[in-house]
Amino acid sequence: MISSSEPINGIITKIKTENIQFPFIAKPNIGLRGTAVKKINTVEELENYVEKAKFDILIQDLIPYENEIGLFYVKLPNQTGKITGIVSKEFMILTGNGKNTLRELIQQDLRYLFQLETLEEEYKEQLAIVLKPGETINLVPYGNHCRGTKFVDASFEITPEMTESFNKICQQIEGFHFGRMDIMYHSFAELSQGKNFQIVEINGAISEPTHMYDPKHSLLFGWKELTRHFHYMYLISKHNKQNGANYLTFKEGVQEFKNHHKHYDTILEF
């Protein structure tokens, strides 16, 4: 974690010490919905990012796997943990035809078009580039719904072998009973065996069962999935309370809610 007030030379030294190479990902230490997540290619881009940031920053290596999922894990009281859903993520990838510019290709896809303003700011004159036939570019190399990634329900990929593998992983995380892991991986077959994947981040109680955002699902399906997971959270919370867990008072909870929105407003200004 890096403070935005830290001098750029100190930040670069830390990056070198951790053996992180360009390009890498910079993002808020406490973030939401992919806001202010950016791929950093050069020292100049890093300087610009740090100059704009009014929040503490995390810097992460680019992970060398081409696929990403969100895997929701729940461990109910006195039960073995289970995977309650998997969302597969389709990135914003353009394929060139030797004729149209990147901007023109974006304008041909309604989902991509929603992101044009953000992409204009990030890519600038690069959107005038014409890709060769068959050449591809991943416009947003991190799987966030709000940044244009399509979410597809892949819960059918859950297997007993995968569940056993992630039970072993999650048992090593003290106090983790409920949440979604964002994972980069090579193939589902290897993922089930606990091979060739990396966990990008773990989201806790605020997590959503994002497989519900698959366009094929109805609003009713989304409500049912939210209700199902809220009930899981209630059962876990009740059990933890009975076993001595400390809870915030109502006043403390309201204050934390205000602090959250204040922090998020700061990120939105980025």
Give the pLDDT confidence of 65-111 residue by residue, as tens digits.
Answer: 889 999 999 999 989 999 999 999 988 899 999 999 999 999 998 88
- pLDDT at residue 269, as a whole number: 66
Phi-psi region of 31 (alpha: psi -120 to 50; beta: other; left: phi over 0): beta
Give the pLDDT confidence of 18-46 residue by residue, as tens digits.
Answer: 888 888 888 887 777 667 778 888 888 88
Q: CA-CA distance, 193 to 196, in Å (whole number)?
A: 9
* Beta strand ranges found along 43-186 (DSSP E): 57-61, 67-74, 82-90, 93-95, 136-138, 150-153, 178-185
Give the pLDDT confidence of 179-206 residue by residue, as tens digits.
Answer: 999 999 999 999 988 889 999 888 888 8
The fold of 67-90+150-249 is D-amino Acid Aminotransferase; Chain A, domain 1 (3.30.470)
- pLDDT at residue 33, as a whole number: 67
Q: CA-CA distance, 95 to 136, in Å (whole number)?
A: 4
Give the pLDDT confidence of 203-248 residue by residue, as tens digits.
Answer: 888 899 999 999 999 999 999 999 999 999 999 999 999 988 888 8
Name the DSSP class of 133. Answer: T
CA 183 to chain centre: 9
User: At residue 5, does pLDDT exceed 80?
Assistant: no
Burial track 64-102 (b if 16+ CB lie within 10 A, e otherwise): ebebbbbbbbbbeeeeebebbbbbbbebbebebeeeeeb
Give the pLDDT confidence of 107-126 residue by residue, as tens digits.
Answer: 998 888 988 988 888 888 89
pTM here? 0.80
User: At residue 145, does pLDDT exceed 70?
Assistant: yes
Q: Read off the pLDDT of each residue in 172-182 and give the average, rounded to a whole number.
A: 92
Residues 6+ apart with CB under 8 A from 158: 83, 86
- pLDDT at residue 161, as a whole number: 94
Give the pLDDT confidence of 46-63 residue by residue, as tens digits.
Answer: 888 888 888 888 888 888
User: At residue 149, does pLDDT exceed 80?
Assistant: yes
Domain residue spans of the chain: 8-61, 67-90+150-249, 93-139
**CATH code for 8-61?**
3.30.1490.20
Name the DSSP class of 219. Answer: H
Q: pLDDT tier at 268 (50, 70, 90 boundaries)?
A: low
> What average pLDDT does the structure give for the chain?
88
Q: CA-CA distance, 91 to 143, in Å (whole number)?
A: 6
